[in-house]
Amino acid sequence: MSSKPITITKPAIPASSYSPHYVSVSISPPTGSLLQEHLRRTPSLGSPNVRQPKVLHPIDNEDLRILLLENISLDAVKSFQANGWQVDHHTKSMNEDDLVQKIGQYHAIGIRSKTRITERVIKAASKLLVIGCFCIGVNQVDLVTAGKAGIPVFNSPFSNSRSVAELVISEIIALARQYFERSFEMRQGVWNKKSKGCWEIRGKTLGIVGYGHIGSQLSVLAEAFGMRVVFYDIINIMPLGSARQVESLSVLLSQSDFVTLHVPELPETRNMISGMQLAQMKQGAYLINNARGGVVDIPALISAVRSGHIAGAALDVFPHEPGANGAPFDDELNRWSSELRALKNVILTPHIGGSTEEAQRMIGDEVSGSLARYLDFGSTVGAVNFPEVDLRAITAEQPDHVRVCHVHVNQPGVLKQVNEVLSPYNVEKQYSDSKGDVAYLMADIADVSPQDVNRLRELISKTSANILTRLLA
C-alpha cells in the first residue's frame, strides 16, 4: 500500500484519561499511618507541581471516526467519545462486502471474533490506522497484510485470567462432590443422597500444568481452600505462596489428586495428555482442561473414565467447537461426542472459561486504551503484528516539540534518509524497531515551527520505504 496522508483533528483530551506511564511525578512516599493523609494532600495531576504530558494532536484537520462492531462495551464507546472521536456503534458484525463498502470512512475499527478483516477489506481501508480486537484471539484479522499496510492490531490476551481460574476452582469442588450428577438426577426426579466417592478439597493436591497468567492465579485461590499446589512449566518460575515447581510432567501426574491444564496450543502440547499420561495419574484422580481442545486426547480420556481409573473430568474446550450458539455438539463435529456425553461425573461446558461481564469490561478498557495510546501518542506496545515502540512523553513545557511516527518497509538505508530530513532539528529522542517486513520509528524533535511541520511530513512521506507517516504535535 502506498503512503496514506492522515488528516485528523480532535479536541484536547484531559491528561487524567491517560496512563500514568506518560506522567512523570516526583513525590516521596509517606510511611505508616500517614498514608491516608498524604493521599489526600497529594497534588492532583492537574496541579502545577506535576510535570504533565502534552496532549498530542495529529497535524491535519479531519474528525477521527471509529467503527465499533459486535456490540463492543458502551464503556469503550464513552471513552472514545470523551476523546472527541466520532463513534459508529453496531451490535452485529459486518460481512466482507459491507465492510469493503464502508471501511474507507474510518480511521479505526473495533471488532470481536466474528468480523473478518481480510486482505480485500484492508485494501479498501484507505484511512484506517489501527484495528482493535476486543477479544483474546486475532485469527479473524489478516495480520500480515495489516502490518504491511502500516496498521497495528491490538487485542487483550490476559483480561479473563481470573474468570478462568475461578471456573476451575468451581469445577474442582463440583467434581469432588459429584454435584453435577446429583443435580442432573434431581431434575429427572431422582433423590440420591450419597457420600461415597465424595470429598472435601482441603488437603488434596492440585497439579497445575502451565504456570502462566491463569495457572498462577489459580495457585493462589487453591491454597486459600487448603489445597497443596504443585506445578509443571517448561520455564523456571518463582512459585506463589507455598506452591512448588516439579521437574517433570510425570512427577506432577503421579502426585496430584486434580490435574488442570493451562498451556497454550502448540505442536508440543498437542495431545500432551494421552493414554500414557492418564495411566501415570493417581487412581481416582480428576482431569480438568480449560486450555485448548487439542491438548487432551479425548478418546483416551473416555477409556480412562470408563475404566474408573479417572474419577471425573471437566472439559471447557474441544478440538472442534460449534461456530454459533444453538448449533449441535454431536458426532459430526467430533466423532466421539456421544460417548463423551454419556459419561458420569464429566462436566462439559461450551468454552465459557473467560466469559464473564468483568472480563468483557476489562477487555474493553484494555483495547480502547491501546487504541487511544496509538492514535494519540504513537505507542505500539502490545500490538500483535507490529514492532513494539514507545517513547517517553513530550511534556507540556515543550510546546515546540513534534513527534514523528514513521512506519516503513524494513530495508537498509531508511534511517539515513529520515535522519537527513531531521538533521536541521534537535532530535530529543528516537527509537526504532522492526518485525518481519515492517519497521517503525518514533522520534521527538524540538523547536519545530508550525510552518515547518507540513514540509517535514511531506519530506519523510516521500522517502523510498515509507508506508505511513504521522506527525503529532
Ligand X SMILES: NC(=O)c1ccc[n+]([C@@H]2O[C@H](COP(=O)([O-])OP(=O)(O)OC[C@H]3O[C@@H](n4cnc5c(N)ncnc54)[C@H](O)[C@@H]3O)[C@@H](O)[C@H]2O)c1
Catalytic residue among 112, 162, 292, 406: 292
CB of 349 to ligand X, least distance (A): 9
Which whole-number Å values give the CA distances from 437 to 144, 145, 410, 412, 416, in the listed order?
9, 10, 5, 12, 18
Give contact residues for ligand X (rule: CB under 6 A).
Answer: 136, 158, 160-161, 164, 209-215, 232-235, 262-265, 268-269, 290-292, 316-317, 351, 353-354
Which whole-number Å values give the CA distances from 55 to 77, 82, 199, 245, in the listed order?
20, 14, 58, 46
**Nearer of residues 265 and 447 to ligand X, judged by Cβ:** 265
**Nearer of residues 23 and 221 to ligand X, judged by Cβ:** 221
Max CA separation in the chain (angstroms)? 86
Q: Please work out, in degrees rounded to the nearest 5, the angle formed at the alpha carbon of residue 101 by the alpha carbons of 458 and 5.
A: 5
CB of 104 to ligand X, least distance (A): 34
Catalytic residue among 70, 351, 361, 428: 351
CB of 74 to ligand X, least distance (A): 23
Tell the residue number behind the cell numbers 530495508, with chain if given.
Answer: 411
Grid cell for residue 21: 506511564
Q: Is 351 a catalytic residue?
A: yes
**Nearer of residues 81 and 170 to ligand X, judged by Cβ:** 170
Q: Please work out, in degrees rounded to the nearest 5, the angle formed at the alpha carbon of residue 86 by the alpha carbons of 83 and 92.
A: 115
CB of 144 to ligand X, least distance (A): 21
Catalytic residue among 321, 358, 420, 458: 321
Residue nearest to ligand X (CB): 212
Eight-class DSSP state of 318? -
* Amino acid at the residue 129: L
Q: Is 321 a catalytic residue?
A: yes
**Nearer of residues 281 and 418 to ligand X, judged by Cβ:** 281
Calpha distance 377→390 (Å, rounded): 8
Grid cell for residue 321: 467447537
| SS3 assignment, position 467 | strand
Asked if 273 and 296 touch (Cβ cutoff 8 Å), the reply is yes
CB of 163 to ligand X, least distance (A): 7
Asked if 143 and 121 touch (Cβ cutoff 8 Å), the reply is no
CB of 135 to ligand X, least distance (A): 10
Calpha distance 341→410 (Å, rounded): 52
Asked if 311 and 345 touch (Cβ cutoff 8 Å), the reply is yes
Please give the positions annotated as active site.
Answer: 292, 321, 351
